[in-house]
Amino acid sequence: MKILLVSSYYYPNIVGGAEISTQKLAEGLFQCGHEVIVLCSDNYEKEEIIRGVRVIRIKNALHKGKLISTIEQFLWSRWNIFLSKRIYEILQRVSPDVIHSNSLYMLSPIVWKCAEELNIPVVHTLRDYHLYPQSHIMKMLYKQMSQKVSIVTSPSYFTLKFFCKKGYFKQAVEKKRIVNAIDEPVDIDKIFSEKMFHKQQHVNFAYLGRYTEEKGLLWLVNVFEKMSHLDCSLYLFGHGPLEEDIKDRILTSKNIINKGFLKEEELYEELKIIDVIIIPSLWEEPFGRVILDAYVNAIPVIVTRMGGMPEFVKEGKTGFIVEPGNDLELIRALSYFVNNNQKWPRMLTSIKPYLKNFYVSKQVKDFESMYYLALKKR
């Protein structure tokens, strides 16, 4: 099958979890024998092959946020005659069997329009709930355009229900949750056995992500400062607007260590000593890819009851779920790991089999079934 994936950005322009997920899907589909093309926005025009995937980059004034407002984004994409003609020509030339869009803005609205004219079925994955339009006019425009989508999927029931309840994608013949994926580790047994048998009394917690208020980092630091008397440490991995504030805040702290932003290989090594990962988000995360990063490294999690995250945590088995901003609940969850050093490693026996639900091979099969259904219903 010839599949065209549409993404706002593509490797090496990785902005967040959506781009990582799209790349893993593209490479997974290619490895299963499909012809995969990615159409993405960039600040230059280029066609190249990356790990077997044909990438078509088109120059777009919206790339890197040159136009800021959502209205500008939609109007530019929807009614830009030159961009519309360029995309139409690409779709004609590529002639995909099915189109799979992965973003609500930039290229997707105009791709949906061109696909309808060329009678190409569209599968759309809701990866960017935070881009939900705020103005009444924009809601109407997006709602109208979304009716051109044959099948809609989302990594979480939360995001899927959010849009469907508001009248989006009414014409879609299938609405399905297909979770984000991770590569199957070749040394999974080794990773888990080392974690199981390399235990110490001291517990190392970690935060992975951007240093922003909505991610709950300040709340986490505030709470952890109250636990300085306990035998535990908090490692911070990432960067962002609050970076300098965090550095100043923990200057005299003995149990909070800021490691900053690390390359993937460096982070992997650091995670070998981490016992628990905390995702204290104060906004409704559509999925929470850090949860998968934790599980694949044999690490249980503590997450807030926000967005789609609770869907992927088995309470007391793969981690704990706490109310956002509730100091007492977070302290109780943190204390469990500190005070039950012999008990909680048993969580790893639940995490390991649970991981199979998130392997790329399973995700590819799920999307293949959606593509065939879209072709059948065309």
Instruction: Average the pLDDT over 278-290 and give the result.
Output: 90
Query: What pLDDT does residue 15 have?
Result: 66
Domain segments of the chain as ranges:
2-181+359-377, 188-357
Question: Which of these ranges, 96-105, 125-134, 214-223, 261-270, has the smallest mean pLDDT?
Answer: 125-134
**Hey, do 2-181+359-377 and 188-357 end up sharing a CATH topology, with the first three levels equal?**
yes
Query: What pLDDT does residue 43 have?
Result: 85
The larger pLDDT score, comparing residue 374 to residue 138, is at 374
d(Cα 327, Cα 227) in Å, to the nearest integer?
11
Q: Over 90: is that where the pLDDT of 117 sits?
A: yes
Q: Over 60: is that where the pLDDT of 76 sits?
A: no
CATH number of 2-181+359-377: 3.40.50.2000
Residues 195 and 346 sit within 8 Å (Cβ to Cβ): no
d(Cα 282, Cα 305) in Å, to the nearest integer?
9
* Average pLDDT over the chain, rounded to an integer: 88
Instruction: Average the pLDDT over 147-160 and give the result.
Output: 93
Query: What pLDDT does residue 354 have?
Result: 94
Residues 54 and 164 sit within 8 Å (Cβ to Cβ): no
pLDDT in tens, 185-225: 888 888 898 887 766 789 999 999 999 999 999 999 999 99
d(Cα 272, Cα 191) in Å, to the nearest integer?
9
Share of the chain above pLDDT 90, in %: 64
Query: What pLDDT does residue 35 have?
Result: 98
Closest alpha carbon to 238 in 301, 293, 320: 293
CATH number of 188-357: 3.40.50.2000
Q: What is the DSSP letter of 122?
A: E
Q: Over 80: is that where the pLDDT of 64 sits?
A: no
